[in-house]
């Protein structure tokens, strides 16, 4: 690969006796959009949570933007500074307004002044199309709006890579589109993205590559046309049938 920004080599992860990741290797190029899918418990969330070390892997090596992940706080800081993340449950700070949610990281971690942080926050709120909600509290917003705020909060840190962990799974159907639209726009802007999702329409439109995982392994990997039109492994075929024909 020409310019891999993330390199994972033979990564393994255990939760007690349960092996969540088995020898997973994956390189992601700068600017690439990768969609990870697979049945629940297949290790897809664990995989992306290892990239910013919300989970620590036990074996193998992960390198992000040239820095290899270790427990050293310096490395961790370097990597977390480059990697943003959006969660299934949004994880907004409920006691802070939308604007305060967005400004906290830039002010405390990046050292921006209040005015700079505010300008940046408003810019990204405009980008996710909710500039008028800045002074509301998260609970006053719809699920779709909350998730867009969460995306804006990550973007305010100006990461090089964005991780999405089932960003639409907790949303009502009518709100999924507004979140996917924002993500599509972000993909078009050249952001490196790794998205765990069951939204196959989004995957087909946006992804450069699709990764199918099952039982902690990468079973199949390829471009959307290749994997959707002619899935090679029987497990992937079954999975696609299940989610496309229900």
Q: Is residue 179 within 8 Å of residue 196, measured between CB atoms?
A: no
Cβ at position 66, least distance to another protein in Å: 18
Q: Which residue has the tokens 């989004």?
A: 202
Q: How far is the CB of 16 from another protein (least distance, A)?
A: 16
Specify the DSSP class assigned to residue 223: -
Whose Cβ is closer to another protein: residue 193's or residue 227's? 193
Q: Which of 77, 88, 235 is nearest to 167 (CA)?
A: 88
> According to CB under 8 A, which one of 91, 129, 169, 184 is a site residue for another protein?
91
Q: Which of 10, 25, 66, 93 binds another protein (CB under 8 A)?
A: 93
Q: Determine the angle formed by the axes of helices 98-108 and 114-127, rounding to 10 degrees.
A: 130
Q: Site for another protein (CB under 8 A): which residue of 42, 45, 52, 147?
A: 52
Q: Residue 21 pairs with which residues in a beta bridge? A: 13
Interaction mask 18-37, another protein, x per CB under 8 A: --------------------
Mention every residue, 6+ apart, whose C-beta is less than 8 A from residue 35. 195, 196, 197, 202, 203, 206, 207, 209, 210, 211
Q: 177-214: buried (b, 16+ CB within 10 Å) or exposed (e) per residue? A: bbbbebbeebbeeebbbbbbbbbbebbeebbebbbbbb
For position 54 contacting another protein by CB under 8 A, the verdict is yes
* Selected range binding another protein among 7-15, 24-32, 34-42, 89-97, rule: CB under 8 A: 89-97
How many residues bind another protein (CB under 8 A)? The answer is: 29
Of 80, 136, 204, 215, which lies in the binding site for another protein, with binding defined by CB under 8 A? 80
Q: Residue 109, interface with another protein (CB under 8 A)?
A: yes
* 244: three-class secondary structure by DSSP: helix
x/- track of binding to another protein for residues 183-222 (CB under 8 A): ----------------------------------------
Binding to another protein, residues 124-163 (CB under 8 A): 137-139, 150, 153-154, 156-157
Out of 4, 81, 131, 222, name the contact with another protein by CB under 8 A. Answer: 81
What would the two tokens of residue 60 be?
Answer: 């193998």
SS3 211: strand
Interacting residue with another protein among 83, 125, 191, 196 (CB under 8 A): 83
Q: What is the CA radius of gyration of the chain?
A: 18
Tell me which residues touch another protein (CB under 8 A): 52, 54, 77, 80-81, 83-85, 87, 89, 91-96, 104-105, 108-110, 137-139, 150, 153-154, 156-157
């Amino acid at each position: 690969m020409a310019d891999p920004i993330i390199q994972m080599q033979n990564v393994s992860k255990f939760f007690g006796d349960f092996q969540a990741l088995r020898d997973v290797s994956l390189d992601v190029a700068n600017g690439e959009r990768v969609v990870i899918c697979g049945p629940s418990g297949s290790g897809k969330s664990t995989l992306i949570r290892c990239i910013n070390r919300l989970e620590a892997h036990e074996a193998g090596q992960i390198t992000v933007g040239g820095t290899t992940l270790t427990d050293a706080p310096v490395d961790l800081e370097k990597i977390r500074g480059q990697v943003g993340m959006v969660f299934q449950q949004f994880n907004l700070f409920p006691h802070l307004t939308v604007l305060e949610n967005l400004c906290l990281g830039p002010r405390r971690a990046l050292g921006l002044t209040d005015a700079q942080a505010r300008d940046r926050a408003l810019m990204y709120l405009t980008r996710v199309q909710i500039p008028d909600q800045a002074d509301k509290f998260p609970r006053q917003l719809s699920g779709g709006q909350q998730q867009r705020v969460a995306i804006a909060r990550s973007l305010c840190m100006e990461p090089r890579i964005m991780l999405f962990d089932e960003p639409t799974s907790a949303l009502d159907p009518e709100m999924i589109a507004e979140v996917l639209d924002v993500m599509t726009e972000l993909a078009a802007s050249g952001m490196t993205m790794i998205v765990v999702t069951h939204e196959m329409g989004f995957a087909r439109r946006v992804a450069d590559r699709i990764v199918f995982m099952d039982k902690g392994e990468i079973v199949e990997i390829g471009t959307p046309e290749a994997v959707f039109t002619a899935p090679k492994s029987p497990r992937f075929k079954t999975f696609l049938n299940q989610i496309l024909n229900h």
